[in-house]
Amino acid sequence: MVGMYVELPRGWLTHDFVKSEFMVTSEAILNQLRKQKFDDVIVHLDKSKIKRPVTAKPKQPDVIRDTPEPEPPPPKKVWDSEYVETAELRTFLDDKKLAPDDKAKKTYHASVDLMEHLLAFPNEANIKKSKQAIYEISEMALNEPDTAHHMLHLTTHDYQTYSHSVNVGFYATVLAKELYKNSNAHDMHELSAGFFLHDIGKTAIESDVLNKPGKLRDIEWQHIKTHPYMGYKMLRDANCLKEESKIIVLQHHEAYDGTGYPNRLKARDIHEYARICAIADVFDALTTDRVYKNAISSFDALRLMRNEMLLNFDAEIFKRFVQLFMT
Ligand SMILES: [Fe+2]
């Protein structure tokens, strides 16, 4: 029945569902469950939202409503100074007494503020200062698994380039940690900086084009597609990041099957770090509201990526990404 919260008896790799525990939200999912012919499926009644039949009410005449006014954009923040401030973020990161869920929330919001400030003034001094703060965020992601777990499940449906940068930075850092946990060959701090700054080149794109609802003209689309190179160039000019960070920025829109941009690189010609970032980038794009589409759930996003977009990604890395959401 739709509304049941079910637990499947087998592991993720042996069935078609992204998770082994989930809510049945549609008849289609219910039919898919039936097709799999499980011996036992546990139904958790305490987590279920089973709708009870209700007596049908007489149909009311349709009311013609006015089209709702579109939400006005949030007012632009005014900063005290054009230099980014990292003190608040550091306070939360250093606080040993904060509970993991509280620390995750506070760190997240302070990180988003930092990124918003940086993207408003993406100069060399701010890039350097932000890089230091990102180092410390990544330390938390690498060494405080409880807080990292809460961060992973914090979702904001609002899309802004700065919140997207933090989300992708965080997802990709946790994924890289998972992939490289038995290796010393990777500079996780540099990697994290590349992930958090992957879209810094968007500051070089006019916001009218970036936030345009509806179809982009070809010339506008070509303009947006310059942001990986623009970001690479900004970091190169700031001269404070290693090549491995910059390559993430340059290649994060390359696709495994060679259909990406700017250079239509294929498979392992795309740096592994950029392949990690591409997965986190698409996942966050799907799970947040955009001017042209509504957010979908993490579950639906992972399923869509697996069923319809897998050729765009490194399938092995994607599998590890899915596993992050199974705990
Ligand atoms: Fe991008």
For the segment 46-83, what is each residue's pLDDT rounded down to a tens digit? 677 764 444 444 444 443 334 445 455 556 677 777 88
Beta strands 5-7 and 21-23: pairing type? antiparallel
For residue 139, how far is its CA from the centre of ligand 1 (angstroms)?
24
For residue 136, how far is its CA from the centre of ligand 1 (angstroms)?
23
For residue 8, how far is its CA from the centre of ligand 1 (angstroms)?
36
| Lowest mean per-residue pLDDT among 77-81, 194-198, 263-267 | 77-81
User: Edge-to-edge strand order for the sheet containing 42-43?
Assistant: 21-23, 5-7, 42-43
CA neighbor of 20 nearest in space, from 2, 38, 45: 38
Query: What's the pTM?
Result: 0.74
For residue 152, how far is its CA from the centre of ligand 1 (angstroms)?
20
For residue 220, how far is its CA from the centre of ligand 1 (angstroms)?
15
Give every CB contact of residue 118 below 8 A, 6+ residues apart in sequence.
84, 126, 127, 130, 162, 200
For residue 316, how far is its CA from the centre of ligand 1 (angstroms)?
22
- For ligand 1, an ion, list residues with CB under 5 A: 199
Tell me, what's the pLDDT at 61? 40
For residue 237, how far is its CA from the centre of ligand 1 (angstroms)?
19
Q: Which residue has the higher pLDDT, 96 or 274?
A: 274
